[in-house]
Structure 1
Amino acid sequence: MIASSFRDCQAWKDEALPLSTSSNEASKLYDAILTQYVKWRNDETLGGIEGCISAIQTADPNFVMGHVISTGLELIATTSSPRLDERLASAVRRTVELASSQDISPREKLHAKAVELFSRG
């Protein structure tokens, strides 16, 4: 279980940034990933960014913003390209498919679209 200091579903709603997951664990992990990224600090007590990404996929495998952040971070952090790396291309496609098949907020749709566009260069 991730620390209680990170935002759960209700806390995101209270900030007018609702997430389309019912998993408080996924919401907190999303916050933990964002926090580590923004602070430019891999917090080993949380498992680092990679550990949190793995945990978020387990907490809610269909959480669009979980896919957005994990795929987006990989796209900006790697020298690989979805054109050359089928696994990365598949992650982009999965993110886009999830976004188009769920009732998510316009903000979340825009994040998924940004990942798609960024993957194309």
Structure 2
Amino acid sequence: MLFKFRRQWETPWEVVDSKAVKPVYMYYDDEDSLDIVAVSDVDTRGTYLFDVNHLTCVALRNAVTFSRQQLIQEVAKKDFNVLLLESWRLTIFRRGKSHRIEIMYSGRPAQVLGKLPHLPPPPFIDVLHEFVC
């Protein structure tokens, strides 16, 4: 066979659960201090994998929050400094006693002048309580 993706003796990762949050506006028009000068034409998306020994609610929250921080760092390279729309999808995999978390974080980058607004937590982060908490 020309392409072998997995060794035959390796057990594959099994999908345990998945949650998704559709795009949500993070800032609203009533915020007077938000001076938007540029908005990207397309969303930016990043996929992040985390191997965890013990699957806890804190680990899930930290994975989503870290993924968001990484995406903000990526859009900062293109001179954007906030995400106007944010969405994410979390998938939990299991292989034996090991767990893997995959986060696909997406956002619409924008450039804001002046003082940046307070960064709220990722949208609907409390849906993670259904997993292991």
Common fold: TM-score over 0.5: no
TM-score bucket of the superposed structures, by smaller chain: under 0.3
Q: TM-score, normalised by structure 1?
A: 0.27
TM-score, length basis structure 2: 0.25
Larger Rg: 2
Q: Larger RCO: Structure 1 or Structure 2 (Cα < 8 Å, ≥ 6 residues apart)? A: 2
Q: Which has the higher strand share?
A: 2
User: When you count helix as a share of all residues, which structure comes out higher?
Assistant: 1
